Structure 1
Amino acid sequence: MAQMLHRLLGHIKNVPTVYSALGLRDACRSLPQSIQLFQDISQEFSDDLHHIASLIGKVVDFEGSLAENRFTVLPNIDPEIDEKKRRLMGLPSFLTEVARKELENLDSRIPSCSVIYIPLIGFLLSIPRLPSMVEASDFEIEGLDFMFLSEEKLHYRSARTKELDALLGDLHCDIRDQETLLMYQLQCQVLARATVLTRVLDLASRLDVLLALASAARDYGYSRPCYSPRLLGVRIQNGRHPLMELCARTFVPNSAECGGDKGRVKVITGPNSSGKSIYLKQVGLITFMALVGSFVPAEEAEIGAVDAIFTRIHSCESISLGLSTFMIDLNQVAKAVNNATEQSLVLIDEFGKGTNTVDGLALLAAVLRHWLALGPTCPHIFVATNFLSLVQLQLLPQGPLVQYLTMETCEDGNDLVFFYQVCEGVANASHASHTAAQAGLPDKLIARGKEVSDLIRSGKSIKPVKELLKEKQMENCQILVDKFLKLDLEDPNLDLDIFMSQEVLPAATTIL
């Protein structure tokens, strides 16, 4: 039955297939009327809809409309339109005969001619341009009115073409005008029942959404969430990211729980590419899916009274906004700070990285401390960050409201193995060098980066690379040699003292 409903909904795309809506009504009438949506469809898809579909189907020529890229009507709707279309269809053979008669009256030098019909212009006599017709004055032919030259064809009005204009008129435009008038009349009759169409589209779209959610739940093994007004927060058992699990070969599920007075602020640290962002997104997506009435990608899920979901995960940059990436991030966080309640879910990923490290860390700590100061009325917050100093410098107050989580990893020699599993604790390093190696950076650059990082942590000065220093010295030596080779000792204006003080000595200081 679900597949049949899907098929019928798939046909409700445009006017020619509006009859599928009637089939959808008949299918829903055979289903349990205790379900409100089926009952509404059975009642709202009334005879008015059948009348609209029948009226449109009897008037509109859909194949002709597609072929001409405009509105056309079926035969036997308007006898006058049918007669003009018959004349228009018979024009080619008729005009051939007219052209034959015209050729008999033309100069013998003209080998051929044709009579053509151009909408809005009318009937014209077309003859090929002769080699002798060079100047505009050469185009004049006795008994003909020259109109224009196009593609080496001369176009004229003759007595016969003027007679055709008076007898037949502008057939193409007349037909289009009359069909446009019929379209307007049909439009008025359909709009008189517009309420029915609007209601049909609303109910059909609702059914389409529910069928899509049901299909996804069946195909991907989603479970039915529970709603608990007594629970302030969410509880997810072995949740999965609904999109990531379809793209990855294997996906590691993770649980999440927030509620009560403990762990309302969860600070998640871990190496780059360890799964922090995916974890935040899956918590938000599962909560959102449950709130809109969908099954969720988790073994179990209990959703409490969540009144809003605020995120600082992805910044959509646009030149039209006139805002920097960091300003966009600040706007997102400011919206959460100003509007989040104790029933809100707040997801923050890498806030503060768009500015100076110290300033970014200070802003992140200030925002979290603001929420922690609210005590039990603090929102439910998940924060993923690479600012390990947030924990190492103890920038957040100690207490049950804060819970530290990390992504489990294991170092295997020089390799870092990701388990993508959330556990309690704090990461001891970002392992940026491992991520850089995975991205394909040369080992030489990675080793230098680790060296500089270690020097900064230990407070030691950073010395230049010896190999690079030698290369620079050789380059400066070559420059100095070139200057001596270009020196013209026979130049009477040469001042060796100036040359040594301004050219040689500055270059020598970079070598020694």
Structure 2
Amino acid sequence: MSKGPTPAMKQFYEMKSRYPGCVLFFQMGDFYETFGEDAELISRELDITLTSRGKDKNGERMPLAGVPIHAGEAYVARMVKKGYRVAVCEQVEDPKKAKGVVKRDVVRVITPGTVIDSSMVPSEGQAYLMALVPDGKHTRFGLAFLDITTGEFFVTTCRADDGGNGLLSAVDRAGPRECLLPHSLSPRLQPLLEGRGIALTPCGAEYFDHVGAVSLLTHQFSVSTLQGFGCDDMDEAVAAAGACLRYATETQKCDLSHISSMQTRMPEQGMLLDAITMRNLELTRNIRDGRADHTLLSVLDRTKTPMGGRLLRTFITSPLTDAAEIGNRLDVVEYCLNEPLRREMIRDLLHRFADTERIAGRIAYGNAGPRDLLTLRDSLERLPEVREVLSSHETALPSLLTEIRTQIRDHSEQVSLISTAIVDDPPVLARTGGVIRQGFSSELDEIRNIGRTGKEWIAAFQQQERERTGIKSLKIGFNKVFGYYIEVTKANLSLVPPEYLRKQTMSNGERFTLPELQEMEQKIAHAEERQSALEEELYTDVIIRLREAVTSLQATSQTIALLDLFSALADAAAENGYTRPVIEESGRLLITDGRHPVVEETLSSVGFVPNDAELDTGGDQIIIITGANMAGKSTYMREVALICIMAQMGSFVPAQRAVVGIVDRVFTRVGAFDDLASGQSTFMVEMVELANILNNVTEKSLVILDEIGRGTSTLDGYSIARAVLEFLHGTGKRGPRTLFATHFHEIVEVETDLKRVKNCHFAVKETGSDVVFLRKLIPGATDRSYGIHVARLAGIPGKVLQRAGEVLEKERNRAPASEGKRAPRYTQMLLLDAPESGCVTESPALIELKNLDPDSMTPRDALAKIYELQKKV
């Protein structure tokens, strides 16, 4: 008859049932052990040896894999990074005092969106937990984003009926690590989120209850209504925020007091950059490998603090549309640029600033280590110097910089507390001991003194016994099993006094004790035990006292982030020769000698050829760009878009002069991508992206279109490109500023038909059989693409190039066929089933086509239906 599970394993099964979907790290002494499927999983994922112990509920051998507790954080971090949720179950009572099995409980649940330990969170980006709630008609999503490492919390909304583009745009701007979603969410959206590397966590309906969310949020923020946060009428967003807060509280098992406010960020409050545009312009990730190098972020990131670096990402992905706010930012950048000495002093001070924002979060959470506190103190000590640098000036400070200076709080109380409480070189973990400074607690000093005098007494007692017994080799030792003992070798056993009490026999001698030695051992042991407990109490008290200043620390951190960011933008402007743009409420976009900020940096050794741009919704609204491949069309169009983004985020721009009429959205359609996983061809992807542009563009938008229609036949492609141009131009009204690059040379004739269209091309210098790309945009059209020359540069074999030249020359010289005699160029065979009994059955595809309601279909749905019907016929 098989025995049932041990008491400890009963605890394991109970915890496992309470935390389904989590890998359970179960403390057994000095190890975190995993059992069953969890053990097999971490053995595979972490390359840990898999063993077995005992039997499971079914009588089979129980798989076992464990890791030492002192290294547990590193293993947990690796599991979370791979997208798993880990529940940490620890012993919550002293095993020495336990009656029966030691009590255990889950002390925290660590998930990709709720990590707070410094080893698990990269300093350069946010660590958002996201929640997603659709409205009743599935036309909009309410979204919430919470970073528990900093307390940043905001809500927003996006459209749900645009094929997921609005959702992906919001996701790409924030970069969440985990998303909470209802079980009822459309399955088609889940692959979109997973494709962004987001861990998905389905939750029950109770998480997204609006009434419960309002109650939870108002209690967290100590308010009676959410009206002051601007989201009172955003039921779905509020429900999402409630889900985030509830999930964070349940997983962290503590009061997250540093989450003290919430913002409402609506898309229309700033320039809207969708996921496609952020990808095409490579704002924070490059297209090649998804890393941050060779992006706008990498060019501008001269920040000295982690907070400043995170804020820069926000500025880049969320430019402003308020000219006054943009002007305030530019004023600060200009001041920093014109005060190079003061700027360098500030940057030198900030260079030694720690991530105070996240340290404040760890203080609120309760897991800040002693070294965190010293790092915080060293940073706060520099605040008076920063304030002094901003105060001692001859030039009047811009209004925003004055506001920043006044927001630098006084943290002398926290600096004093940490300095008096924590030793100069503390251990990593507080529980190790030796953290509290001498003089901070008289009780602790007295206990430590007992420990020191006790050990001095031991040394003196050893010398005393040597002299009394005449045993010169007598020594007093200690181990955890037997405590203090007197050790005598075999050769000297005859000299042992009769009052010695035998304790242990050894191979080379014996160990003894005496009543006075036992008494001192108890005093020392009690002192060490009391010292450890008291140090832990004192350290916890320091954390509690610092917790009162968390809100103030967060505000100071955000102020330092702003100062760091503006000085970094000024530094980039000084080094790269950027100029201040003119921001105005108009339809103009004038750029003189504009440069692509990223390409310019890459080509620093050979030089970048600058170009002008002149667009105006009431003048040259659309510029058609023709010319050679590799002449620079794509680079030019991207640089115009990047200059607009840089200007409206508050940065100086790479141009001799720039006048930017506020842009509400930047749309881009460039490059060739397909989405085979969802069955979309390159051309289908192009049309879907184009549909998004045409359905959402306004006269304040900037549209970048590169090679529209090239994914289909020449005639179809030209027709689409022409129609798109006419649509964007509009009839008798203003349209969006548009750059339109094309190899359909016939389309240049549009300039004579549409009054706000202008032709330009990139100059090429022909030298015999070779061409030189001059990279200069000049007025007028061209009918040459020089594709064969580009093929030569790419290394295409000579025979192929020679034959291509012959075919090209033959096509150029071909005489047009006379009317009615031209040979057919295409043939198409249509196979039909033979009709039965002379009856013709109507095609099912035709029947379906007749029953369609075009007015209720989106362009994307219509295109998808066309492909479906085409397959049927």
- 1:339 match: 696
- Asked if 1:370 corresponds to 2:711, the answer is no
Shift of 1:353: 4.9
Query: Which one of 347, 350, 353 corresponds to residue 12 of structure 1?
Result: 353
- Give the share of equivalent positions with the same residue, in percent: 28
CA distance in 2, matches of 1:383, 1:233: 17
Q: Secondary structure at the match of 2:699?
A: coil
Moved more, 446-455 or 339-348: 446-455
Q: Secondary structure at the match of 1:11?
A: coil
CA distance in 2, matches of 1:91, 1:438: 84
- 1:57 match: 419
- 1:196 match: 552
- Asked if 1:22 corresponds to 2:392, the answer is no
TM-score between the two structures when normalised by the length of structure 1? 0.66
Residue type at the aligned position of 1:21: L
After superposition, the Cα gap between the structure-2 partners of 1:273 and 1:441, relative to the gap in structure 1 and judged at 3 Å, is: same
Name the structure, 1 or 2, with higher relative contact order (CA <8 Å, separation 6+): 1
Query: Which one of 641, 651, 662 corresponds to residue 305 of structure 1?
Result: 662
Structure of greater Rg? 1
Q: Is the 8 A contact 1:263 1:403 kept in 2?
A: yes
Shift of 1:397: 8.2
Moved more, 4-13 or 71-80: 71-80
Shift of 1:332: 4.2
Query: Which one of 344, 348, 353 corresponds to residue 3 of structure 1?
Result: 344
Moved more, 370-379 or 164-173: 164-173
Unaligned runs of 5+ in 1: 99-113, 126-142, 145-157, 463-512
| Structural mapping, 1:385-400, within 5 Å | 385=742, 387-388=743-744, 391=747, 398-400=753-755
Query: Which one of 245, 267, 289 corresponds to residue 600 of structure 2?
Result: 245
| Structural mapping, 1:437-476, within 5 Å | 437-450=792-805
Task: Give a deviation string over 1:291-349, Cα, whole Å, max 9, x none.
Answer: 23322222221122322222234689999999776666555434432222111111223
| Structural mapping, 1:259-274, within 5 Å | 259-274=616-631
Q: How many residues are aligned here?
A: 416
CA distance in 2, matches of 1:346, 1:69: 59
- Asked if 1:73 corresponds to 2:430, the answer is no
- 1:223 match: 579
- Asked if 1:257 corresponds to 2:620, the answer is no
| Structural mapping, 1:173-184, within 5 Å | 178-184=534-540
| Superposed CA RMSD | 4.8
Task: Give a deviation string over 1:120-151, Cα, whole Å, max 9, x none.
Answer: x99799xxxxxxxxxxxxxxxxx98xxxxxxx
Moved more, 413-422 or 423-432: 423-432
CA distance in 2, matches of 1:293, 1:373: 32
CA distance in 1, matches of 2:700, 2:798: 48
CA distance in 2, matches of 1:275, 1:411: 16
Unaligned runs of 5+ in 2: 1-341, 357-375, 462-476, 486-502, 505-511, 815-821, 826-873
- 2:152 match: none
Shift of 1:45: 2.5
- 2:862 match: none
After superposition, the Cα gap between the structure-2 partners of 1:96 and 1:25, relative to the gap in structure 1 and judged at 3 Å, is: same
Moved more, 286-295 or 84-93: 84-93
Q: Is the 8 A contact 2:722 2:747 kept in 1?
A: no
- Asked if 1:285 corresponds to 2:626, the answer is no
Shift of 1:448: 4.4
Residue type at the aligned position of 2:398: I
Task: Give a deviation string over 1:170-217, Cα, whole Å, max 9, x none.
Answer: 999976665554443323322322232222122222222221222222
After superposition, the Cα gap between the structure-2 partners of 1:360 and 1:174, relative to the gap in structure 1 and judged at 3 Å, is: farther
| Structural mapping, 1:79-98, within 5 Å | none
CA distance in 2, matches of 1:171, 1:86: 9
CA distance in 1, matches of 2:715, 2:458: 86
Shift of 1:275: 0.7
Q: Is the 8 A contact 2:409 2:556 kept in 1?
A: no
Shift of 1:280: 0.8
- Asked if 1:295 corresponds to 2:636, the answer is no
CA distance in 1, matches of 2:679, 2:545: 48
- 2:542 match: 186
After superposition, the Cα gap between the structure-2 partners of 1:45 and 1:355, relative to the gap in structure 1 and judged at 3 Å, is: same
Residue type at the aligned position of 1:418: F
After superposition, the Cα gap between the structure-2 partners of 1:57 and 1:449, relative to the gap in structure 1 and judged at 3 Å, is: farther
Moved more, 297-306 or 83-92: 83-92
CA distance in 2, matches of 1:166, 1:454: 103
- 1:496 match: none
Q: Secondary structure at the match of 2:590?
A: strand
- 1:487 match: none
Moved more, 58-67 or 406-415: 58-67
Shift of 1:416: 1.6
Query: Which one of 765, 785, 789 corresponds to residue 410 of structure 1?
Result: 765
Q: Secondary structure at the match of 1:63?
A: coil
- 1:104 match: none
CA distance in 1, matches of 2:796, 2:739: 32
CA distance in 2, matches of 1:277, 1:69: 58
CA distance in 2, matches of 1:97, 1:448: 102
Q: Is the 8 A contact 1:268 1:384 kept in 2?
A: yes
CA distance in 2, matches of 1:265, 1:84: 82
Q: Is the 8 A contact 1:96 1:115 kept in 2?
A: no
